[in-house]
């Protein structure tokens, strides 16, 4: 019988219950009672998730997909690979230790820095990067995976526990010493994996899922050999079967390796491949054919036919065709129906969206609805299409409704895209000339200080926004509340003596959602939350049709902020690639067609800001690196398009107007040429957690434009000292001309509290002033 299975379910809860529980714990005194409350919240969320999947008719339900912060961090604690700075005593890893690793901590008055965080493949989810120190010895150090299996078992649900695979874990980690060899390290993990498998088998487990998205990457022969050798030593206890789950990309040249592993099943992603977010029918057909040619006569083939990273309804007939092809070749008992990847990346339940219009809602499916789709496809494969005729008819109707809806296509937008010219992507002068003009016009000191855009979003700000949306206050009252907040933020920046100011973005709920709310072709959910990292959740906009900008979106706020100061006020925008990456994007046209539409809309906003007297405009492309396809063969097309769209957005201004961009947690080495080609006057990047290592790419490239390497880690509540930030700036100065260097935090300050922000920014300005004094003294000498 074809089984309906799942790879993972959103852990945050329909109303972000996890966020609320975790943040309440962080704010508490962390007593035993408070810890019990947190653990109980986790138990309740897991139980509801398991019941939801059981009620949907799933045959394999995952466990250990829940985490209070991050599943990679949980794998680190499970393996006992705790960096030495946390003074771990070698016992069972506590939740407080996990949080310290993720967020940093203070111990005996000494700051202990957080572990590095970066993007999970090409998603907007962030994971805590494992650190591999010399002499580390993996050992089973956490019982979470067993506890959660037992909890579900007590409910009468035999789950399929999920583990991050040894290869993926090893290749995503960061060695802390010279001479580290991945092929040797992965071998040291296998005994612990074997111990975990044995422990699960003893508890009655019959299937385990080992996630290996590393198969989506280009693997060298040494890497492939290391994986093969590691799995050769994996010991499966009698009665326990192992499914290796690959996702985010087609297997391609890694297919023989994957299907040759000594395991019982392989999962493949049929929704993303060849560098595309939505795989073409031809690509999916090839992937199925390749899998069937390699599957052999015993292994199970798990088909990821329901998109785990988007919110559109599944084309049930098309998905069923893929499953039927596999069944015809290997039989019903060897085929699983599954989402393409964990449903972590989708919102929980569309039923919560009671205020969404029926037409749009009729095109969509959240995680809960995707469970139903999986069950329907499995039923069709087992019982025949005639037994799901009603469901197939409804699915076909939804697909046709989207194609024919007049809400989708806008002839004026399509004509404007068709008339884009090359000169629209070029600044009037090269950077060297622009820099000279800008330095005279802006008259800033060495090491100019600024922030990335947002300031803390207080309860008062959120209440005002909520009251306005509910009609409790009118537009005038809301506008006044936001202006008061902007004035307060500007006054604080004056107090700090920051050089280039921002308005703090109190009116913005999210850096993407805010713009999407004002762009035609976008729609919004009320409960479409997905996890970004830890307790941070985002509510991605939904791009369903052609995109345009009916009216200015930020000009009024920027003009008011500029009226509050004689200093330079930076206009703040989000770039086209980031808006695209952080939205649920229509899948009925190429993504770059949508990106160009967004670029033209933001271009109009850039032009209007300049006309309003804003001399500095930041266009954030936090997701630039994140959108990079996982296979290098697909990089050029993406990067060329991404650069083109940024330039299309930014190249409408005069030389005097300084264009900034910002990029978040990423490895830049692979894309530095393209970052250079974007030709932003100033780029700010994350650098503090990596101790300026991420700056190396810009140094080796000899990046000619100006750069703000972040000196303050905003993802941690700790306040860095002046000395710490001076040390980071000294590292930057060793390889950059000091006229290139800006001083700023790593990212926006929206998620932080005011007390820590005030102290940290005052220290940051003091650090910049120390650097100026050192420069002055050096020149005098």
Catalytic (active-site) positions = 715
Alpha-carbon span 618 to 369, nearest angstrom: 39
List phi, psi (to 5°) of 116: -65, 150
Q: Are 230 and 166 in contact (CB under 8 A)?
A: yes
Alpha-carbon span 606 to 223, nearest angstrom: 46
Instruction: Compute how many other C-beta atoms are within 10 angstroms of the C-beta atom of residue 580.
Output: 25
List CB contacts of 300: < 8 A, sequence separation 6 or more: 243, 264, 265, 266, 334, 335, 336
Alpha-carbon span 1 to 306, nearest angstrom: 19
Task: Of 273, 237, 271, give the one whose Cα is nearest residue 252.
Answer: 273
Instruction: Identify the residue whose tokens are 């290098």.
Output: 632
Q: Are 527 and 349 in contact (CB under 8 A)?
A: yes
Instruction: Compute how many other C-beta atoms are within 10 angstroms of the C-beta atom of residue 349.
Output: 18
Alpha-carbon span 507 to 554, nearest angstrom: 10
Q: Are 101 and 83 in contact (CB under 8 A)?
A: yes
Provide the angle, in degrees to the nearest 10, between the axes of the packed helices 367-383 and 389-404: 130
Which two tokens mark 713?
């880690």
List phi, psi (to 5°) of 427: -70, 160
DSSP code, position 57: T
Alpha-carbon span 659 to 653, nearest angstrom: 9
Alpha-carbon span 736 to 730, nearest angstrom: 10
Task: Of 441, 571, 567, give the one whose Cα is nearest residue 500.
Answer: 567
Name residue 111's beta-bridge partners: 106
DSSP code, position 116: P
List CB contacts of 390: < 8 A, sequence separation 6 or more: none
Element housing 532 (H / E): strand 530-533
C-alpha triplet 297, 318, 406: angle, nearest 5°: 160
Which two tokens mark 55?
């009620």
Pairing state between β 126-128 and 117-119 = antiparallel
């Amino acid at each position: 019988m074809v089984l309906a299975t799942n790879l993972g379910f959103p852990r945050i809860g329909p109303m972000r219950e996890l966020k609320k529980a975790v943040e309440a714990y962080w704010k508490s005194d962390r007593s035993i009672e408070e810890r019990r409350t947190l653990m109980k919240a986790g138990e309740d969320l897991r139980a509801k998730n398991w019941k939801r999947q059981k009620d949907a008719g799933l045959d394999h339900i995952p466990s250990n997909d829940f985490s209070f912060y991050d599943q990679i961090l949980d794998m680190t604690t499970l393996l006992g690979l705790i960096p030495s700075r946390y003074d771990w005593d070698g016992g069972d890893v506590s939740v407080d230790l996990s949080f310290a690793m993720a967020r940093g901590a203070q111990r005996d008055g000494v700051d202990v820095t957080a572990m590095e965080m970066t993007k999970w493949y090409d998603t907007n989810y962030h994971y805590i990067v494992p650190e591999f120190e010399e002499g580390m010895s993996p050992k089973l150090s956490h019982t979470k995976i067993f506890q959660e299996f037992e909890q579900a078992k007590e409910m009468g649900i035999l789950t399929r526990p999920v583990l991050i695979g040894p290869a993926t874990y090893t290749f995503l980690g960061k060695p802390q010493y010279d001479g580290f060899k991945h092929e040797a390290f992965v071998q040291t993990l296998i005994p612990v994996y074997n111990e975990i498998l044995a422990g699960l088998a003893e508890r009655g487990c019959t299937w385990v899922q080992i996630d290996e998205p590393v198969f989506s990457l280009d693997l060298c022969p040494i890497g492939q050999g290391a994986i093969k050798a590691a799995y050769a030593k994996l010991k499966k206890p009698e009665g326990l079967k192992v499914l290796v789950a690959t996702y985010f990309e087609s297997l391609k040249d890694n297919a023989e390796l994957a299907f040759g592993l000594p395991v019982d099943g392989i999962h493949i992603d049929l929704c993303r491949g060849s560098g595309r977010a939505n795989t073409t029918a031809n690509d999916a057909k090839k992937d199925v054919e390749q899998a069937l040619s390699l599957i052999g006569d015993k292994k199970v083939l798990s088909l990821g036919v329901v998109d785990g990273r988007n919110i559109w309804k599944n084309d049930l007939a098309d998905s069923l065709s893929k499953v039927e092809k596999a069944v015809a070749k290997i039989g019903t008992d060897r085929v699983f129906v599954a989402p393409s990847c964990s449903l972590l990346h989708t919102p929980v339940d569309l039923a919560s969206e009671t205020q969404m219009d029926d037409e749009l809602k009729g095109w969509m499916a959240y995680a809960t609805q995707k469970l139903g789709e999986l069950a329907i496809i499995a039923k069709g494969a087992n019982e025949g299409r005639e037994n799901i005729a009603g469901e197939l008819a409804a699915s076909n109707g939804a697909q046709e409704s989207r194609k024919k809806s007049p809400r989708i296509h806008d002839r004026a937008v399509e004509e404007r895209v068709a008339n884009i010219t090359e000169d629209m992507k070029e600044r009037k002068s090269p950077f060297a000339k622009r820099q000279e003009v800008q330095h005279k016009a802006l008259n800033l000191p060495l090491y100019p200080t600024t922030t990335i855009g947002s300031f803390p979003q207080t309860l008062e700000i959120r209440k005002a926004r909520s009251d306005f949306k509910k009609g409790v206050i009118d537009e005038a009252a809301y506008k006044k509340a936001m202006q008061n907040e902007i004035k307060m933020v500007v006054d604080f920046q004056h107090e700090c003596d920051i050089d280039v100011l921002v308005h703090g973005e109190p009116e913005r709920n999210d850096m993407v959602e805010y713009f999407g709310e004002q762009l035609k072709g976008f729609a919004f959910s009320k409960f479409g939350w997905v996890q970004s990292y830890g307790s941070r959740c985002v509510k991605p906009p939904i791009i369903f049709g052609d995109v345009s900008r009916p009216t200015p979106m930020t000009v009024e706020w920027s003009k008011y902020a500029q009226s509050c100061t004689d200093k330079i006020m930076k206009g703040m925008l989000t770039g086209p690639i980031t808006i695209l990456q952080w939205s649920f994007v229509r899948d009925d046209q190429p993504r770059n067609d949508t990106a160009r539409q967004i670029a033209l809309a933001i271009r109009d906003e850039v032009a209007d800001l300049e006309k309003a007297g804003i001399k500095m405009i930041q266009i954030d492309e936090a997701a630039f690196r994140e959108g990079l396809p996982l296979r290098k063969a697909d990089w050029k097309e993406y990067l060329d398009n991404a650069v083109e769209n940024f330039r299309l957005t930014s190249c409408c201004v005069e030389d005097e107007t300084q264009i900034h961009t910002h990029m978040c947690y990423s490895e830049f080495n692979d894309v530095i040429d393209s970052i250079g080609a974007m030709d932003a006057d100033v780029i700010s990047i994350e650098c503090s957690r990596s101790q300026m290592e991420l700056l190396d790419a810009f140094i080796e490239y000899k990046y000619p434009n100006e750069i703000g390497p972040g000196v303050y880690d905003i993802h941690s509540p700790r306040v860095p000292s002046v000395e710490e930030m001076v040390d980071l700036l000294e590292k930057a100065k060793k390889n950059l001309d000091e006229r290139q260097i800006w001083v700023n935090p790593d990212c926006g300050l929206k998620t932080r509290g005011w007390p820590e922000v005030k102290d940290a920014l005052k220290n940051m300005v003091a650090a910049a002033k120390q650097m100026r004094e050192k420069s002055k003294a050096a020149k005098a000498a």
